């Protein structure tokens, strides 16, 4: 059945900002979908609020709307574009929910838009747990094949408690229709259940939770299923979770293919999966089905299904080479699986025996209607960010908490596991490298055995240690529920490790055995008491080197056309020789807070630009969620850890294959940047800014000299290698001071401290302060406006990419601060000064490529806060807002192109740059998205949603409009839900903020909001003529007549907006945390909570824009393609022609 011709335009809904549970895997899937649909000749309209995505590149759709994914804005897009169909199964739960809302509000019907992929009925059947269970139990399969956990659906707390009594504790609680399992978890007793039930009912958009029998400790599996409209169904991948039931699959270490199933068990699962997708009625597309298997008797329980492409689909695509999103898009428009090619495999030529002139003949590829088979093992490990949220409970539950993941491929499990652990780039998360001593003290093993019972970040390292310290596989299995097969594999790694440790001398056989079990040079060096360089030398001398195999979907049954490689210590390599000069691009590894999709965006752009410029592009990365790890993004893909050892081996393999121009380290964030120096020392050519220049920018002394030479002021600062040094510096500069470790990204470990005690506390906690790792102490500029600049420099000419003005004051990490472009309050003189300073720094540092500088403007003085000679987090935002592909230009400059040449090509503006913005250009606002709702303390309370110098946001959105207020309100709607247009505002400002807060608060009162405040603030406001209602403080408790406290009001949803700036000075290392209950409660109840005064002022402008709407000034939507001529006055076809 060929593609549908009764539809010609399709609206694709993206997944919005990166949040926990929904990360860049949906950029990968959305990008594939948009590409496919356009290739098929459909007009593609896209809605996605996330500018840091490849899918929102204007080249990928006919009309790209960077607008909030809300019913209101999507309806506006539908009204403007009148698409024939909507595809919502590739944008995660966000897109699926948006589609359901559109349907519920009658918008699909009103505009006559058809939902393709999965129907509303199918979505509801898949997501409604009760209905889903009936479906599973009603499948036409032999008795006992498919079962479900016993459960009760509840809408009130009383129902929840009654259900738990019936099912016996522990029980599982799952709110309906939440993303990434938000709000779900195990309750072991009534108190715990009560707490979770209240939150869960709140989190569910339909106030519904499911209470279920516990299958804690069972084996957990997933199948990825694909179906076409001819009812052909294939299983793309099986995944086995190493962590048994009880840990969200996103937080589990997972393995593909399944390792501990017999064929009988696997086929039973397959039958059930196929039955489910048919019964649920996902007519076309992919879905994911999760199973639990009782290890004692094989009882199979279906846990849930996602009637859409999911995070696991992205993993499965990368794990198998089967591009699920692409195929899902093709079947959604009517193709059947047998009509679609498997791009990777070529068809065998045995025509002499097949003279059949069938329709299928004459194809170059085998079809997509098959099931991939693996001759390797894939391991995924999650990456967490608990260190960013002090007090957050790090226990892993059914509620996803990880912020990223790394995947690796090996020819066996141990090789893949070893590579995955080092790919995750977590200190102490590799075997033997943790500071664990060689033998346990008395009682230590018992303690360790008790610890591993509880699933938490880093448990596997403890499991390994327990086994090494003498715990039996049986005991560890008993404690953790981890299948003995996996534990025995760890024992194999240990034996290989022991052999390495004990060998005298280290022989090729012993080394090879260790490498085949995934043990890194760093680990071997640790075991041998030497350095990784020495081990690398020994390996080279003994000829113990990896080969590179190919991910081909078919275990070599057919020849693979796609160079998608992974390393293994095996015999035969499959890297093909090439003629053209290659550029190797280092990706950014697993997503983490501070290093996420924005860097992948830049890497992908570099690959596209360099490929177009005639280079053969080679990508190295280990993040399965990304576009960069798609096999067709670069000419060659190496799915490898980003460590010195692994990168060097790829470099050597590619050098053997043909000429290599160099390695790009500038675009993938801190991970590749951190390798630059060592790579260069190992003889690898680094293109663009030299490692020396990178070091120079990081090294305070040398960088200070650059600033001095250029006559640029920086806040007073110093570098301390001990507490005494830090105290001296602080005394000289004056408190408050900003302290942080050197060489970090995302403000990791950065704090503002107000006194000696807090400083001492900080130094104590920052355990890594050593001579090599000093602490930086900076003067903290109170009340400064922070400015971010992204610029290009080719050694002669400077091209300002863009200047962003932060909304929040300096001191809030730039990644967490909202910002606007063009700068909304800066005069031309300031802008010229910024340009001059940027040029001086670019020249002084020796930048070739991208440069990001943070300035602070305080009392009309422009201070340089820091300069980073690399792609920054804001590159995609700036590129989108100015319609100029900065990362592409940077890649070209790194390989020797000049800005003048790029201007001539039309890649950069022919005249002027991003600092020259026409008056009718739109204002772009970037707003950060924060994950506070995801975390709870051990006691189940919210974590404090305060912004500070340490970055906490997971993602960002963009609002585009002709005025700042309108752009800001769009940004808020996309990031945190819409601002209120009326109702009650609770205000509570620190003394230092009161003066600035009065005006915006008064404006809110004028707009008709009721202002609530506690006694002190209320008095101040009344004196300023703001009518204010006094409410009781949390500490005052309820009044004599039951008058509620502010916290109670928040809990009762009586407040529509909270403005609360932190009070008080630092005490014992916990700075500015008063008002925690208010902020925490607001976050828990989804009430917008503003914690800075500039943020309040911006919100007021946003609210005004909303209010003007009802006065006949609608908040319109406009596509990037339509904005382009305004963003870039020279925007002509030339600018986009070059960009595929």
Partner 1 sequence: MTGSHGVRACLVLEDGRVFEGESFGAEGETFGEIVFTTGMTGYQETLTDPSYRRQVVVATAPHVGNTGWNQDDDESARIQVAGLVIRERSPIASNHTSTGTLEDQLRQQGIVGISGLDTRALTRHIRERGAMRVGISTESSADDLLTRVRQQPEMAGLNLISEVSTTEEYVIEPVGEHRFTVVAFDLGIKAMTSQRLAARGCRVHVVPADTSLDRAKELGADGVFLSNGPGDPATADAQVALTKQVLDAGIPFFGICFGNQILGRTLGFATTKLPYGHRGINQPVLDHTTGRVEITAQNHGFAVVDEGAPRETPWGTATVSHTSLNDDVVEGLELRRGDRLVAFSVQYHPEAAAGPHDSAHLFDRFCGLMADARNNAQEA
What is the per-residue burial (b if ≥16 Cβ within 10 Å, else e) of 773-782?
Answer: ebbbbbbbbe
If binding is defined by CB under 8 A, does position 412 make contact with partner 1? yes
Q: How many CB atoms lie within 10 A of CB 158?
A: 10
Taking CA 542 as the corner, what is the angle to CA 536 and CA 547, rounded to the nearest 5 degrees?
75
DSSP-assigned beta bridge partners for residue 741? 775
Residue 220 counted as an annotated binding residue: yes
Rg (CA), the chain: 29
Under a CB-based contact definition with an 8 Å cutoff, are residues 28 and 625 in contact?
yes
Taking the least distance from each CB to partner 1, the nearer of 230 and 981 is 230
User: Considering the rule CB under 8 A, would residue 1008 count as an interface residue with partner 1?
Assistant: no
- Among the listed ranges 63-71, 253-261, 677-685, 933-941, the one in contact with partner 1 (CB under 8 A) is 253-261
Closest to partner 1 by CB, 338 or 699: 338
> How far is it, in rounded angstroms, from Cα 383 to Cα 252?
10
Residues 627-666 that bind partner 1 (CB under 8 A): none
CA 571 to chain centre: 36
Nearer to partner 1, 71 or 294 (CB): 294
CB of 321 to partner 1, least distance (A): 13
Annotated binding residue 1001: no
The CA distance from 711 to 709, in Å, is: 5
Cα 817 from Cα 809, distance rounded (Å): 8
Residue 512 is a binding residue for partner 1 (CB under 8 A): yes
Q: How far apart are CA 354 and CA 91, in angstroms?
A: 42
The distance from CA 105 to its chain's CA centroid, rounded to whole angstroms, is: 31
781 known ligand binder:
yes
Q: Which residues contact 405 (CB under 8 A, 6 or more apart)?
A: 250, 315, 380, 381, 382, 383, 590, 591, 623, 624, 625
Q: Give the footprint of partner 1 on residues 261-320 (CB under 8 A).
A: 261-267, 270-271, 295-298
For tokens 């909270």, what's the residue?
A: 1058
What's the N-to-C CA distance of the chain in angstroms? 30
Smaller CB distance to partner 1: residue 259 or 826?
A: 259
The residue (of 210 and 226) whose beta carbon lies closer to partner 1 is: 226
246 is in an annotated binding site: yes
Smallest gap from Cβ 283 to partner 1, in A, equals 15
Using CB under 8 A as the binding rule, the residues of this chain from 231 to 250 that contact partner 1 are 231-232, 234-235, 238
Residue closer to partner 1, measured from CB, 257 or 1095? 257
Residue 304 annotated as binding site: yes
Cα–Cα distance measured from residue 382 to residue 429, given in angstroms and rounded to the nearest whole number? 11
Is 812 known to sit in a ligand binding site?
A: yes
725 is in an annotated binding site: no
Scan residues 340-369 and list those touching partner 1 (CB under 8 A). 347-348, 350, 353-358, 360-361, 366-367, 369
Say if residue 576 is preceded by a cis peptide, omega within 30 of 0: no
Closest CA relative to residue 728, chosen from 756, 768, 699: 756
| Residue 437 assigned as binding residue | no
Residue 498 touching partner 1 (CB under 8 A): no
> Read out DSSP for 717-786?
EEEESSHHHHHHHHHHH-SSEEEEESS-STTTT-EEE-SHHHHHHHHHH-TT-SSSS-EEEEE--TTPEE
Among 370, 469, 735, 1126, binds partner 1 (CB under 8 A): 370
* Shortest distance, position 216 Cβ to partner 1, whole Å: 18
Query: In angstroms, what is the minimal distance from the CB of 842 to partner 1?
Result: 49
User: Does 215 show up as a binding residue in the annotation?
Assistant: yes
545 lies in the site for partner 1, by CB under 8 A: no
Is 247 annotated among the ligand-binding residues? Answer: yes
CA distance 50 to 971: 10
* Total site size for partner 1, rule CB under 8 A: 72
Least distance (Å) between residue 423 CB and partner 1: 18
Q: Among 53, 184, 397, 513, which residue sits at the site for partner 1 (rule: CB under 8 A)? A: 513
According to CB under 8 A, which residues from 454 to 483 bind partner 1?
483
608 is in an annotated binding site: no
Give 260 or 742: the residue with its C-beta nearer to partner 1. 260
Would you state the structure tokens that stand for residue 798, as one six-digit string? 């400077």
Cβ(494)–Cβ(468) below 8 Å: yes
User: Least distance (Å) from partner 1 to the CB of residue 242?
Assistant: 13
- Asked if 571 interacts with partner 1 (CB under 8 A), we say yes
Q: Please choose, out of 108-116, 565-573, 926-934, 995-1003, the segment that lies near partner 1 by the rule CB under 8 A.
A: 565-573
Q: How far is the CB of 764 from partner 1 (least distance, A)?
A: 45
The least distance separating partner 1 from the CB of residue 1139, rounded to whole angstroms, comes to 37
The answer to whether 911 is a known ligand-binding residue is: no
> Which H or E run contains 804?
strand 798-809
Q: Which CB atom, from 366 or from 884, has the smaller least distance to partner 1?
A: 366
Q: Residue 1070: count other Cβ atoms within 10 Å of its Cβ.
A: 15
Q: Which of 218, 376, 968, 1123 binds partner 1 (CB under 8 A)?
A: 376
Give the residue, chosen from 58, 372, 669, 922, that forms a contact with partner 1 under the rule CB under 8 A.
Answer: 372
In angstroms, rounded to a whole number, what is the distance separating the alpha carbons of residues 785 and 1060?
A: 20
Query: Is 557 labelled a binding residue?
Result: no
Of 271 and 394, nearer to partner 1 (C-beta) is 271
Q: How far is the CB of 1079 from partner 1 (least distance, A)?
A: 48
Task: Decide if residue 515 touches partner 1 (CB under 8 A).
Answer: no
Q: Which is nearer to partner 1, 517 or 903 (CB)?
A: 517
């Amino acid at each position: 059945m060929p593609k549908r011709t009764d539809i010609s335009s399709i609206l694709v809904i993206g997944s919005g900002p990166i949040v926990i549970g929904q990360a860049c895997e949906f950029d990968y899937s959305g990008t594939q979908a948009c590409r496919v649909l356009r290739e098929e000749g459909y007009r593609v309209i896209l809605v996605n609020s996330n500018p840091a995505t490849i899918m929102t590149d204007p080249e990928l759709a006919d009309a790209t709307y960077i607008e909030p994914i809300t019913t209101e804005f999507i309806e506006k897009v539908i009204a403007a574009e009148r698409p024939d169909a909507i595809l919502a199964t590739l944008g995660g739960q966000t897109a699926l929910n948006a589609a359901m809302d559109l349907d519920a509000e009658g918008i699909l019907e009103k505009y006559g838009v058809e939902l393709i992929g999965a129907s509303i009925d199918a979505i509801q059947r898949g997501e409604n747990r009760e209905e889903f269970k009936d479906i599973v139990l009603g499948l036409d399969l032999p008795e006992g094949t498919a079962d479900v956990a016993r459960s009760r659906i509840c809408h009130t707390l009383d129902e929840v408690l009654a259900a738990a009594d019936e099912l016996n504790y522990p029980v599982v609680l799952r709110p309906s229709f939440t993303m990434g399992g938000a709000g779900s978890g195990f309750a072991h007793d009534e108190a715990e259940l009560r707490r979770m039930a209240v939150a869960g009912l709140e989190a569910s958009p339909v106030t519904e939770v499911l209470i279920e029998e516990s299958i804690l400790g069972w084996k957990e599996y997933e199948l990825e299923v694909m179906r076409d409209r001819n009812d052909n169904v294939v299983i793309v991948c099986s995944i086995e979770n190493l962590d048994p039931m009880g840990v969200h699959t996103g937080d589990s270490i997972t393995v593909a293919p399944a390792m501990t199933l017999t064929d009988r068990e696997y086929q039973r699962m397959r039958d059930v999966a196929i039955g489910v997708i048919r019964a649920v009625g996902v007519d076309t597309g992919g879905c994911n089905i999760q199973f639990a298997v009782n290890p004692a008797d094989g009882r199979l329980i279906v846990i849930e299904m996602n009637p859409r492409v999911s995070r696991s689909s992205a993993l499965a695509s990368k794990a198998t080479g089967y591009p699920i999103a692409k195929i899902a898009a093709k079947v959604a428009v009517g193709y059947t699986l047998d009509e679609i090619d498997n791009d990777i495999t070529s068809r065998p030529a045995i025509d002499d025996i097949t003279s059949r002139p069938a329709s299928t003949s004459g194809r170059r590829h085998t079809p997509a209607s098959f099931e991939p088979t693996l001759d390797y093992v894939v391991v995924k490990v999650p990456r967490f960010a608990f260190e960013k949220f002090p007090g957050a409970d790090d226990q892993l539950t059914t509620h996803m908490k990880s912020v990223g993941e790394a995947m690796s491929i090996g020819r066996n499990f141990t090789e893949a596991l070893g590579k995955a652990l080092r790919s995750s780039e977590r200190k102490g998360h590799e075997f033997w490298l943790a500071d664990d001593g060689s033998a346990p003290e008395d009682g230590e093993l018992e303690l360790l055995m008790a610890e591993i019972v509880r699933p938490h970040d880093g448990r596997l390292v403890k499991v390994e240690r327990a086994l090494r310290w003498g715990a039996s596989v049986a005991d560890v299995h008993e404690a953790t529920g981890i299948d003995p097969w996996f534990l025995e594999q760890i024992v194999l790694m240990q034996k290989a490790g022991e052999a390495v440790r004990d060998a005298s001398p280290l022989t090729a056989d012993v080394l090879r055995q260790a490498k085949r079990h995934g043990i890194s040079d760093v680990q071997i060096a640790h075991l041998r008491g030497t350095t990784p360089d020495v081990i690398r030398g020994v390996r080279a001398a003994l000829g113990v080197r990896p080969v590179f195999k190919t991910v081909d979907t078919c275990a070599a049954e057919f020849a693979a056309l796609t160079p998608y490689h992974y390393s293994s210590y095996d015999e035969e390599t499959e890297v093909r020789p090439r003629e053209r000069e290659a550029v190797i691009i280092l990706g950014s590894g697993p997503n983490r807070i501070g290093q996420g999709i924005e860097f992948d965006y830049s890497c992908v752009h570099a690959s596209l630009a360099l490929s177009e410029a005639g280079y053969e592009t080679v990508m190295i990365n280990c993040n399965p969620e990304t576009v960069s790890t798609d096999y067709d993004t670069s000419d060659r893909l190496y799915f490898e850890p980003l460590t010195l050892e692994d990168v060097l081996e790829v470099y050597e393999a590619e050098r053997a294959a043909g000429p290599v121009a160099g390695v790009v380290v500038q675009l993938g964030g801190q991970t590749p940047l951190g390798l630059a120096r060592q790579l260069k020392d190992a003889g690898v050519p680094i293109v663009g800014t030299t490692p020396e220049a990178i070091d120079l920018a990081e090294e305070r002394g040398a960088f200070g000299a650059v600033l001095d030479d250029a006559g640029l002021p920086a806040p007073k600062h110093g570098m301390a290698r001990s507490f005494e040094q830090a105290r001296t510096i602080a005394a000289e500069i004056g408190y408050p001071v900003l302290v942080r470790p050197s060489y970090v990204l995302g403000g990791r470990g950065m704090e503002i401290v107000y006194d000696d005690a807090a400083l001492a506390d900080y130094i104590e906690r920052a355990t890594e302060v050593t001579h090599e790792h000093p602490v930086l102490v900076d003067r903290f500029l109170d009340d400064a406006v922070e400015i971010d600049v992204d610029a290009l420099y080719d050694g002669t000419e400077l091209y300002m990419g863009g200047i962003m003005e932060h909304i929040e004051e300096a001191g809030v990490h730039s990644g967490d601060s909202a910002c606007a472009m063009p700068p909304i309050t800066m005069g031309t003189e300031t802008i010229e000064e910024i340009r001059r300073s940027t040029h001086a720094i670019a020249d002084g540092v020796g930048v070739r490529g991208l440069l990001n500088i943070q300035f602070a403007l305080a009392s009309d003085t422009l201070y340089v806060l820091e300069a980073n000679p690399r792609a920054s987090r804001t590159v995609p935002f700036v590129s989108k807002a100015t319609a100029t592909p900065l990362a592409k230009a940077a890649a070209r400059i790194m390989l020797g192109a000049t800005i003048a040449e790029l201007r001539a090509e039309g890649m950069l503006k022919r005249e002027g740059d991003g600092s020259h913005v026409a008056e009718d250009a739109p204002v772009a606002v970037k707003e950060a998205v924060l994950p506070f709702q995801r975390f709870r303390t051990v006691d189940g309370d919210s974590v404090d949603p305060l912004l500070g110098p340490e970055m906490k946001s997971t993602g960002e959105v963009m609002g585009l409009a002709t005025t700042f207020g309108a752009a800001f309100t769009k940004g808020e709607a996309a990031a945190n839900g819409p601002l209120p247009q009326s109702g009650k505002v609770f205000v509570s400002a620190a003394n230092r903020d009161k003066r600035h807060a009065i005006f915006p608060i008064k404006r809110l009162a004028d707009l008709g909001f009721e202002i609530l405040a506690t006694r002190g603030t209320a008095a101040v406001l009344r004196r300023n003529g703001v009518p204010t209602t006094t409410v009781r403080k949390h500490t005052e408790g309820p009044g004599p007549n039951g008058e509620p406290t502010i916290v109670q009001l928040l809990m009762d949803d009586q407040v529509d907006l909270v403005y609360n700036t932190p009070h008080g000075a630092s005490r014992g290392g916990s700075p500015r945390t008063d008002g925690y209950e208010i902020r925490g409660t607001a976050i828990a109840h989804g009430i917008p909570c503003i914690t800075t005064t500039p943020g309040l002022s911006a919100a007021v402008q946003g609210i005004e824009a909303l209010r003007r709407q009802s006065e006949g000034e609608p908040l319109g939507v406009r596509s990037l393609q339509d904005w382009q001529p305004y963003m870039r006055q020279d925007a002509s076809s030339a600018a986009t022609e070059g960009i595929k």
